[in-house]
Structure 1
Amino acid sequence: MTPTDPSTAPTIGRRRLLLAGLAAGTAAPWIGAQAQSYPSRPITLIVPWPAGGSTDRHLRTLAEIASKHLGQSIVIENRPGAGGTLGPATMAQTARPDGYTIAQFPLGLLRMPHMQKTAWDPLNDFTYIIGVSGYTFGLTVKADSPYKTFKDYIEAARKQPGQINYGSTGTGSSPHLLMEELAGNAKVQLTHIPFKGNADLQAALLGGHIMAQSDASGWDKYVDGGQMRLLVTFGEQRTQRWPEVPTAQELGYGVVSTSPYGLAGPKGMDPAVVKTLHDAFKKAMDDPKHMEVLGQLNQAVWYRNGEDYRKWAGETFAKDKALIERLGLAAK
């Protein structure tokens, strides 16, 4: 018989249907099994800042606790650059969405596309996993600085336009933008010097290479140790740890910033894998050891599930576009 023999057609047709049915029936269980076996090897968490800074300290502790709930180790990979956007953006463009590579999602990712052309989209190229915390930002000077108060620093900038500088963790980062907004409100001109992250920035201040640093609370040990002086913080209220230090808001500069952040992966992640990661990190967030580290950094919990985190990101992306345009930092 030949394949074209009409008498064989029903048999061949039935066979094809049977094979198709078997394929369809086994595909879903295979995908489910992949999710059920996750994680079966170590997970990489990209921290887009140098080791030793406040974010690195926080996420190393959080990852260590979460790894116990996942049954696999979480390896921290420090990949600084581009104001905290290089590491996560590279992950979004190159990593497989299998849950084995995730990253911190700093607020700068929602701002950078407004300031320059990017090859990635912060809303569509990431899978939002969980919102975690926000920063306590402050401006510090070296202990022997002539600026005893924030008013002294601003008055110096008023008398010497462009001659008073400060460092931050990168162009477009929250420590940079909040100082630019404040300078605009105070009607002074400050010179911004960007660094790759906290460690480099702090070394520059302690070495006398810059006059001040705008940063998250990675400076805490230097302030408490007497090597730096904290002039101002940027929360809605004074901090519990440094209650004698005024906020920019109460000094009349109209700037409040906490820059919430969380964890994200590449787009297209399996929802079951996302849930596994979310649940493990949520348990880690509630752990007393994690709360102790947040207390040391003077940071608050900022919990959002993946859906709420994605919604918040969309709203913030639109709002920060207006801020960047107002500061004259928008892409031409």
Structure 2
Amino acid sequence: MTSRSKHPIRSLSRRSLTLCAAALLAGTALPAVSQTTAWPSKPVRLVVGFAAGGGTDVMARVLAQSLTEALGQTVIVDNKPGASGNLSAGEVARAPADGYTFLVAPTSVETANPSLFKSNVLPSRDLTPVMGFGRMQMYLLARPTLEVKDAKQLVALAKSQPAKLTYASSGTGTPPHLAGELFVQSTGASITHIPYRGSAPALQDVMGGQADLVFDPGIAFPHIKSGKVKLLAVASDRKSPFFPEAPTYADLGLHNASLDIWFGIWAPNKVPAEVTERLSRELTKALAAPAVKQRFAELGAEPAPLEQAAFRKLLADEGKTLSTLIKDRKIIVE
């Protein structure tokens, strides 16, 4: 008893020492393992730069519900409206790169806003694209009494009556306005822009005859079907899943005028790749669900997953097109 008490370390067997060493080694490895397997361990926030109830917000909430079920943690939508999404982009850029804050926005926040607004935040520099998840097409609509049947006849009429025809938009610098300017630039038609405060009043004035045309982001479907507005073309090179019989710009031989509204997710720079990769996998699964497809369709949108490399290319191509358009057409947001 006495000799063992004087030399307690000697009483440890080789097996005990081996077990102690293994425990210490395991303890040093645990933090690295937990970093890759524990995410998420608390609620995840999706920041949306537009008010509740709009298309971006509704899509974000649909995805948040699916992600909550897939990740086992609450995914919340946090609305931070202002400056066409710039305020929300800034908030996410300043957030910790821990995988708990993401931006949900239309691609215009990166591809058009830098040419339209003065801001300290540059999404192409200050944020990391995660993936694209949805697309809306726009539709060239006319008041029902306008005597044209398609976009080709519209161009001919506009050229014969310079600046007489008008097109309404949801506001200067918005995607419907930029779609109108692309159409004017690519066709040489002379059409006067009238900005409104939102898509709904712009559409209302076209139905009422106060404006001739509108580039509609999918809110006019019931009015197209009822004949309150006339569908001249899908403002895209792709057929519409909602109006497959409608001619596209490609069908009409109109080139370089197409503009779809894409939506995506961005993260603060330096978020671990394993986090963004898992988020992408779960979102891609969610976008394939019939309930998600149906809810998107109600907004005039369609799920369209784009993995990170393809999303980066889309952003680069669209950014080049829109920055050039904004400069050439001298578009200024007051």
The offset of 1:325, in angstroms, is 4.2
CA contact (8 A) 2:141 2:213 kept: yes
Aligned residue for 1:189?
190
Aligned residue for 1:281?
283
Change (3 A) 1:56 1:105: closer
Change (3 A) 1:227 1:100: farther
C-alpha distance in 1 between matches for 2:95 and 2:269:
10
Residue type matched to 1:72 in 2? Q
Aligned residue for 1:263?
265
1:1-332 matches, cutoff 5 A: 29-30=30-31, 33=34, 36-82=37-83, 84-108=84-108, 109-141=110-142, 145-146=145-146, 149-151=149-151, 154=155, 157-158=158-159, 161-194=162-195, 197-199=198-200, 201-202=202-203, 210-224=211-225, 226-254=227-255, 255-296=257-298, 299-318=301-320, 320-329=322-331
The offset of 1:198, in angstroms, is 4.2
C-alpha distance in 2 between matches for 1:98 and 1:228:
48
C-alpha distance in 2 between matches for 1:28 and 1:87:
40
Change (3 A) 1:278 1:258: same
C-alpha distance in 1 between matches for 2:94 and 2:55:
27
CA contact (8 A) 2:89 2:103 kept: no
Aligned residue for 1:9?
none
Q: Counterpart of 2:219 in 1: which secondary structure?
A: helix
Which structure has the larger Rg? 2
C-alpha distance in 1 between matches for 2:71 and 2:184:
46
CA contact (8 A) 1:49 1:198 kept: no
Question: What CA deviation, in whole Å up to 9, does each residue of 1:232-275 have, x standing for no partner?
Answer: 21222432422343223333432222243311122222323223
The offset of 1:230, in angstroms, is 2.6
The offset of 1:147, in angstroms, is 5.5
TM-score for the superposition, normalised by structure 2: 0.73
Aligned residue for 2:6?
none
Change (3 A) 1:56 1:168: farther
The offset of 1:180, in angstroms, is 0.7
Change (3 A) 1:269 1:135: same
Residue type matched to 1:70 in 2? L
Q: Counterpart of 1:251 in 2: which secondary structure?
A: coil
C-alpha distance in 1 between matches for 2:224 and 2:28:
58
TM-score for the superposition, normalised by structure 1: 0.73
Q: Which moved more, 1:265-274 or 1:313-322?
A: 313-322
The offset of 1:125, in angstroms, is 0.8
Q: Counterpart of 2:177 in 1: which secondary structure?
A: helix
Change (3 A) 1:256 1:125: same
Q: Counterpart of 1:184 in 2: which secondary structure?
A: helix
Change (3 A) 1:81 1:216: farther
The offset of 1:285, in angstroms, is 1.3
C-alpha distance in 1 between matches for 2:80 and 2:258:
28
- How many residue pairs end up in the alignment? 305
Residue type matched to 1:281 in 2? L
Residue type matched to 2:77 in 1? I
Question: What CA deviation, in whole Å up to 9, does each residue of 1:170-229 have, x standing for no partner?
Answer: 433432222112112332333334456545655665677654332322332443455443
The offset of 1:284, in angstroms, is 0.6
Q: Counterpart of 1:46 in 2: which secondary structure?
A: strand
C-alpha distance in 2 between matches for 1:38 and 1:71:
10
Q: Counterpart of 2:124 in 1: which secondary structure?
A: coil
CA contact (8 A) 1:81 1:196 kept: no
The offset of 1:116, in angstroms, is 4.7
C-alpha distance in 2 between matches for 1:209 and 1:266:
45
CA contact (8 A) 1:166 1:212 kept: yes
C-alpha distance in 2 between matches for 1:220 and 1:251:
21
CA contact (8 A) 2:49 2:89 kept: no
Residue type matched to 1:235 in 2? S
Which segments of 5 or more consecutive residues in structure 1 lack a partner in the other structure?
A: 1-24
CA contact (8 A) 1:50 1:198 kept: no
C-alpha distance in 1 between matches for 2:81 and 2:203:
15
The offset of 1:145, in angstroms, is 4.9
Residue type matched to 1:310 in 2? R
